[in-house]
């Protein structure tokens, strides 16, 4: 068997019947080649499931509303795709809805993260069932595989870590034979299972990571993310004019971009690929013949300025109460609280009298942080901020970013400029 390829289709690429038809026509061209296809939940289904889970805890009446809508959404796409051939698929979807309903009829589990993962997986299960049934109707030879049989993780629900040895073993046993038989292997992104056979997930947008994990285990020749953008851009087209597509970047650049908050790929994606030198392509599913962006070991291209904006940030100012310097002992105390609350620090800085942390504005976590640290420190929190990072800035770009913005602080290190600014409007 030649080295397989891995394709990932995100939520936008399977958001409705028309999108799924496109996926199928693309996959038709690959029949007979070893290909793994990783698919997300359809459109905004994961958000809808999150609302359902919250309602399960707090608002049972709303819960049945969400549950209904979710069913209708999927059932109507299934009907649009398969017409009068839809019966088998409807039975399979019905089984999923019944299984979900069993969970919802019970009281929600006291461990929210655990409960979340048991429910959230239905998005990926339903979307892949629908895509699979449509591929079958189109005579695209493939096997539907439950990712939970080979993506094996620890029990850190909602942010589970891959157990690599177990995953590799299971991929060898379950996935490889399908590819060797010349069939496309169709599976879900984002979801996995613990060794106790409980569902687990890899974190929001985790399908990217699933694709990378499988590529690593299979020594794939490449991975392609099919997206609703032309490739990786120099900035968010919704926020900036004049953004252009990056033709190629290094793994390192991609890591830097995701670290600073670029949403194009899940931050954990790069490492498993870089470790085996597997190139990653980000391409447009609307224009499959366009080249997109290539991410690999080296790139001959000189990069233009790249702008990454993280919105909804908060700045935490921590000062000693007795006018003493913020010293190493204080930092270790601060960080033990930060890490126990799983707060991700996006930027930090220390001055004589205070220590500054820029983090995502998650009020429940920040209130806890403030409560705990207030015993020994004065803690002030300002929200409504943005963290803007520019890689490879030039003068005109820096000037442009300063214009019309209230900058709270800025910093430069190597090829990276960062600004914390007050959000406009
Ligand atoms: N469906 C999941 C989410 O929306 C995973 C993914 O799409 O990558 O976060
Ligand atoms: Mg997605």
Number of H helices, E strands in the chain: 13, 17
Closest-lying ligand to the alpha carbon of 42? 1
Three-point CA angle 41, 166, 144, nearest 5° = 35
Residue-level pLDDT at 79: 97
Residue-level pLDDT at 326: 86
Tell me whether residue 106 is exposed, middle or buried, using C-beta atoms within 10 angstroms of its C-beta: 0 to 12, 13 to 18, 19 or more.
Answer: exposed
Residue-level pLDDT at 19: 96
Burial 238-250 (b: 16+ CB within 10 A, else e): eeeeebebbebbb
* DSSP code at position 242: S
Residue-level pLDDT at 378: 96
Determine the atom of ligand 1 nearest the C-alpha atom of 206: 8
Ligand 1 site residues (CB inside 6 A) read 10-11, 40-41, 46, 123, 189-190, 204-207
What are residue 381's DSSP bridge partners? 316
Determine the atom of ligand 1 nearest the C-alpha atom of 11: 7
| Domain range list for the chain | 5-228, 306-422
Q: What are phi and psi of 293, to 5 degrees?
A: -120, 135
Question: Which single residue is written with the structure tokens 């209904």?
Answer: 68
d(CA 223, CA 8): 8
Q: What are phi and psi of 101, to 5 degrees?
A: -65, -35
What is the residue with the minimal CA distance to atom 8 of ligand 1?
Answer: 205
Q: Does domain 306-422 have CATH number 3.65.10.10?
A: no
Tokens of 350: 């220390």
Nearest to 170 by CA among 218, 111, 203, 229: 218
* DSSP code at position 324: -
Closest-lying ligand to the alpha carbon of 49? 1
Nearest to 19 by CA among 112, 120, 130, 104: 130
Closest-lying ligand to the alpha carbon of 269? 1
Q: Indicate the fold that domain 5-228 takes in CATH.
A: Carbamate kinase (3.40.1160)
pLDDT tens, residue by residue, 370-399: 999 999 999 999 999 999 999 999 998 888
Residue-level pLDDT at 425: 58
Nearest to 127 by CA among 197, 66, 189: 189
Interacting residues of 41 by C-beta distance below 8 A, sequence separation 6+: 11, 49, 123, 124, 126, 127, 190
Task: Select from 189, 199, 202, 265 the residue to mutate for testing ligand 1; criterion: most ligand atoms less than 8 Å from CB.
Answer: 189
- CA 42 to ligand 1 center in whole angstroms: 9
- CA 409 to ligand 2 center in whole angstroms: 32
Determine the atom of ligand 1 nearest the C-alpha atom of 44: 4
Determine the atom of ligand 1 nearest the C-alpha atom of 205: 8
Determine the atom of ligand 1 nearest the C-alpha atom of 123: 1
d(CA 359, CA 115): 26
Task: Select from 123, 203, 205, 228 the residue to mutate for testing ligand 1; criterion: most ligand atoms less than 8 Å from CB.
Answer: 205
Tokens of 105: 């009829």
- CA 375 to ligand 1 center in whole angstroms: 39
- CA 187 to ligand 1 center in whole angstroms: 14
Instruction: Please list the ranges in the chain whose pLDDT falls under 50.
Output: none
Determine the atom of ligand 1 nearest the C-alpha atom of 203: 9
Angle between helices 45-58 and 60-82 (to 10 degrees): 150
What is the residue with the minimal CA distance to atom 2 of ligand 1?
Answer: 205
Residue 75's alpha-carbon distances to 83, 87, 95, 126, in angstroms, are: 11, 11, 12, 10
d(CA 163, CA 154): 6
Tokens of 349: 């800085």
Range list of H helices, 7-59 = 17-28, 45-58
Tokens of 73: 């959404």
- CA 188 to ligand 1 center in whole angstroms: 10
Q: Are strands 5-9 and 35-39 parallel, antiparallel or unpaired?
A: parallel
d(CA 37, CA 335): 40
User: Which pTM value belongs to this model?
Assistant: 0.90
Closest-lying ligand to the alpha carbon of 116? 1
- CA 11 to ligand 1 center in whole angstroms: 7
Q: Which residues are in the CB-under-5-Å shell of ion ligand 2?
A: 10-11, 40
Closest-lying ligand to the alpha carbon of 122? 1
Contact (CB, 8 A) for 47 and 66:
no
- CA 40 to ligand 1 center in whole angstroms: 6
């Amino acid at each position: 068997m030649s080295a397989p390829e891995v394709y990932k289709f995100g939520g936008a690429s399977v958001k409705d019947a028309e999108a799924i038809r496109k996926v199928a026509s693309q996959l038709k061209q690959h029949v007979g080649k070893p290909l793994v296809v990783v698919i997300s939940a359809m459109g905004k289904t994961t958000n809808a499931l999150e609302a359902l889970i919250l309602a399960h805890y707090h608002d049972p009446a709303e819960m049945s509303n969400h549950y209904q809508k979710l069913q209708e959404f999927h059932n109507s796409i299934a009907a649009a795709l398969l017409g009068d051939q839809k019966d088998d698929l409807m039975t399979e979807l019905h089984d999923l809805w019944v299984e979900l309903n069993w969970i919802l009829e019970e009281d929600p589990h006291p461990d929210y993260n655990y409960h979340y993962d048991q429910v959230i997986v239905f998005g990926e299960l339903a979307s892949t069932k629908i895509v699979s049934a449509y591929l079958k109707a189109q005579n695209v030879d493939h096997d539907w595989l439950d990712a939970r049989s080979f993506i094996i993780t620890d029990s850190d629900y909602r942010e589970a870590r891959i157990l690599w040895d177990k995953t590799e073993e299971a991929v060898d046993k379950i996935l490889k034979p399908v590819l060797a038989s010349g069939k496309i292997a169709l599976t879900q992104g984002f979801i996995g299972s613990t060794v106790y056979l409980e569902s687990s997930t890899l974190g929001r947008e985790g399908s990217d990571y699933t694709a990378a994990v499988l590529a690593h285990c299979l020594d794939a020749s490449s991975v392609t993310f099919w997206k609703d953008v032309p490739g990786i851009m120099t900035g968010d087209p919704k926020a900036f004019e004049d953004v252009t597509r990056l033709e190629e970047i290094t793994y390192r650049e991609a890591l830097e971009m995701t670290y600073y908050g670029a949403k194009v790929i899940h931050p954990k994606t790069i490492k498993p690929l870089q470790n085996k030198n597997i190139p990653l392509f980000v391409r447009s599913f609307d224009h499959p013949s366009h080249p997109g962006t290539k991410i690999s070991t080296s790139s001959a291209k000189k990069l233009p300025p790249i702008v990454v904006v993280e919105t909804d940030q908060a700045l935490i100012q921590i000062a000693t109460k007795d006018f003493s310097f913020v010293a190493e002992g204080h930092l270790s105390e601060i960080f033990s609280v930060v890490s126990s609350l799983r707060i991700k620090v996006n930027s930090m800085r220390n001055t004589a009298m205070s220590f500054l942390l820029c983090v995502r504005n998650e009020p429940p976590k920040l209130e806890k942080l403030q409560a705990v640290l207030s015993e020994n420190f004065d803690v002030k929190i300002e929200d409504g901020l943005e963290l803007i990072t520019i890689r490879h800035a030039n003068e005109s770009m820096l000037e442009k970013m300063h214009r019309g913005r209230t900058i709270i602080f800025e910093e430069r290190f190597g090829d990276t400029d960062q600004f914390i600014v007050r959000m406009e409007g």
